């Protein structure tokens, strides 16, 4: 029996996984695909490591992957531009390009 709408996150089933992510989740996903640890991500974004763990879990759930390798592979397969970690303005433009590529 199919899962009735709305699905977790309140998105329509046809919504691409990348459009389900918040800006912060996209930023964290960028760090994850760059191979950064939760501790490093937390320090760079000014978050606790537990918050980063929660973001990571939601990202994996929304995108439908089980680990960082699968997330990176999915990004590459979808030709998704992951936002640069050093420039917060670039992260925002990366979100826009991800939405267009969606």
CATH value at residue 41: 1.10.10.10
For 93, list phi and psi in degrees, rounded to 5.
-70, -30
Q: State how far the Cα of 92 lies from the Cα of 39, in Å rounded to an integer.
A: 23
Helices (H), 34-86: 38-45, 49-63, 68-77
For 78, list phi and psi in degrees, rounded to 5.
-90, 0
Model confidence pTM above 0.75: no
The confidence score (pLDDT) of residue 33 equals 92
> By residue range, what is the domain housing residue 73?
17-101
**5 inside domain:** no
Domains: count for the chain: 1
Tens place of pLDDT for every residue, the chain, 102 residues? 455 544 555 556 667 777 888 999 999 999 999 999 999 999 999 999 999 999 999 999 999 999 999 999 988 887 666 654 554 444 444 444 444 444
**6 inside domain:** no
The confidence score (pLDDT) of residue 99 equals 43
Q: State how far the Cα of 17 lies from the Cα of 13, in Å rounded to an integer.
A: 9
> Sign of dihedral through CA atoms 9, 31, 44, 96?
negative
**78 inside domain:** yes
The confidence score (pLDDT) of residue 88 equals 44
The confidence score (pLDDT) of residue 93 equals 45
């Amino acid at each position: 029996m199919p899962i009735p709408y709305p699905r977790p996150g309140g998105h329509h089933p046809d919504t691409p996984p990348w459009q389900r992510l918040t800006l912060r989740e996209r930023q964290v996903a960028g760090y994850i695909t760059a191979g950064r640890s939760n501790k490093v991500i937390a320090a760079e974004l000014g978050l606790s490591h537990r918050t980063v763990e929660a973001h990571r879990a939601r990202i994996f759930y929304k995108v439908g992957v089980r680990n960082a390798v699968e997330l990176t592979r999915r990004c590459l397969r979808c030709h998704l531009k992951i936002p640069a970690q050093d420039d917060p303005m670039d992260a925002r433009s990366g979100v826009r390009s991800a939405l267009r590529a969606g």
